[in-house]
């Protein structure tokens, strides 16, 4: 499911729903999702209070004092707050039980999501967060920060999807950003000269998507079970065969780096 705008929306929900709660117990029903031993994982979390939840790229960070829980939703991960005695759904693989009788259920049909515990002190110096590029909505993401990546033979879409370039862009938003910038997704990175426009489009698209609570294309729902609204504002992604909103030419679907890729052949030239 989630790219930066969706993860940001989940982060906001989790902050209101679980900040200040103390973990009484953690139940793990599918252990490959958790790094290391389940026993260590459960014991490290037991008794910890959730100070806040933040986001770095597509990762959710549960701040627990000396320890930070790093959660990645991958394709389909979702969190739902339930009563402690609620029936566990078939696709719920981790349940956090709080001492106030509520529980947070991690739901993930494809079981791709991951949980790792890190010492807060070295959180950003150890995988998986150590190689991430700048936050696209921070001051650190500037044309000068992007320019070093605008070289080489890789396609510009591949570069935007590389989390080392900038953190949080995935398949939907890469397509929308390149449409905004008027750049064909297969353009070689070295041929993209206008770093300013690209940075502006990254910010524009992501800010609007965050404002809309993310995009719900197939399965994405936020922690309150609500759909996002940004799918209504998509210009190219999932619009194969439909007319471009700007020029009426037909939106085309192709593959770039093995990912389904949509673009307008008239507005986006190589």
Partner DNA sequence: CCCACTGTTTTAGG
Partner DNA sequence: GCCTAAAACAGTGG
Q: Which residue has the tokens 């992604």?
A: 237
CA dihedral 8, 161, 217, 255 (to 10 degrees): 180
- Give the residue, chosen from 43, 225, 260, 270, that forms a contact with DNA under the rule CB under 7 A: 260
Q: Measured between alpha carbons, how far is 32 from 115 in angstroms, rounded to an integer?
A: 9
- What does R_g of the chain's alpha carbons equal in angstroms? 20
CB nearer to DNA: give 48 or 221.
221
Task: Given the residues 11, 21, 48, 58, select the one marked as catalytic.
Answer: 58
Q: Which residues contact 139 (CB under 8 A, 6 or more apart)?
A: none
Minimum distance from residue 139 beta carbon to DNA (Å): 22
203-232 binders of DNA (CB under 7 A): 214-220, 228
Count the helices and strands in the chain (H runs, E runs): 6, 10
CB nearer to DNA: give 50 or 172.
172
Q: Is 92 in the site for DNA (CB under 7 A)?
A: no
Minimum distance from residue 244 beta carbon to DNA (Å): 19
Stretch that binds DNA, among 17-25, 44-52, 117-125, 153-161 (CB under 7 A): 153-161
6-45 binders of DNA (CB under 7 A): 6, 32
- Give the residue, chosen from 28, 44, 109, 117, that forms a contact with DNA under the rule CB under 7 A: 109
| 259 counts as catalytic | yes
The upper half-sphere exposure of residue 140, i.e. CA atoms within 13 Å in the direction of its Cβ, equals 8
Query: 100 by DSSP, 3-state: which?
Result: coil
Task: Given the residues 128, 134, 259, 265, select the one marked as catalytic.
Answer: 259
- Give the residue, chosen from 2, 133, 136, 185, that forms a contact with DNA under the rule CB under 7 A: 2
Stretch that binds DNA, among 63-71, 80-88, 94-102, 150-158 (CB under 7 A): 150-158
Cα–Cα distances (Å) from 23 to 98, 124, 154, in that order, read 4, 24, 45
Q: Measured between alpha carbons, how far is 9 from 79 in angstroms, rounded to an integer?
A: 12
Q: What is the DSSP letter of 8?
A: H
Q: Which residues are catalytic?
A: 2-3, 58, 259
User: What residues line the site for DNA (CB under 7 A)?
Assistant: 1-3, 6, 32, 57-58, 72, 74-75, 90-91, 109-112, 127-128, 152-155, 158, 161, 163, 170-172, 214-220, 228, 257-260
């Amino acid at each position: 499911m989630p790219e930066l705008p969706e993860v940001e929306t989940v982060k906001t929900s989790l902050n209101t729903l679980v900040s200040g709660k103390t973990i009484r117990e953690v139940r793990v029903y599918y252990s490959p999702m958790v790094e290391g031993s389940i026993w260590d994982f459960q014991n490290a979390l037991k008794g910890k209070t959730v100070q806040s939840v933040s986001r770095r790229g597509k990762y959710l960070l549960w701040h627990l004092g000396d320890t930070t829980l790093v959660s990645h939703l991958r394709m389909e991960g979702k969190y739902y707050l339930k009563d402690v005695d609620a029936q566990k759904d078939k696709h719920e693989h981790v349940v956090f039980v709080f001492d106030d009788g509520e529980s947070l259920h991690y739901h993930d049909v494809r079981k791709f999501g991951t949980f790792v515990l890190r010492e807060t002190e070295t959180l950003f110096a150890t995988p998986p967060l150590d190689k991430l590029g700048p936050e696209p909505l921070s001051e650190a993401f500037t044309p000068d920060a992007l320019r070093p990546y605008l070289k080489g033979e890789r396609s510009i879409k591949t570069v935007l999807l590389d989390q080392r370039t900038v953190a949080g862009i995935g398949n939907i938003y890469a397509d929308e950003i390149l449409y905004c910038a008027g750049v064909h997704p297969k353009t070689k990175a070295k041929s993209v000269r206008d770093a300013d426009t690209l940075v502006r489009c990254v910010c524009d698209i992501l800010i609007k998507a965050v404002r809309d609570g993310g995009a719900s294309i197939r399965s994405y729902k936020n922690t309150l079970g609500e759909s996002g609204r940004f799918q209504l504002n998509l210009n190219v992604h999932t619009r194969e065969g439909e007319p471009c909103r700007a020029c009426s030419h037909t939106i085309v679907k192709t593959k770039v780096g093995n990912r389904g890729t949509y673009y307008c052949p008239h507005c986006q030239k190589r």
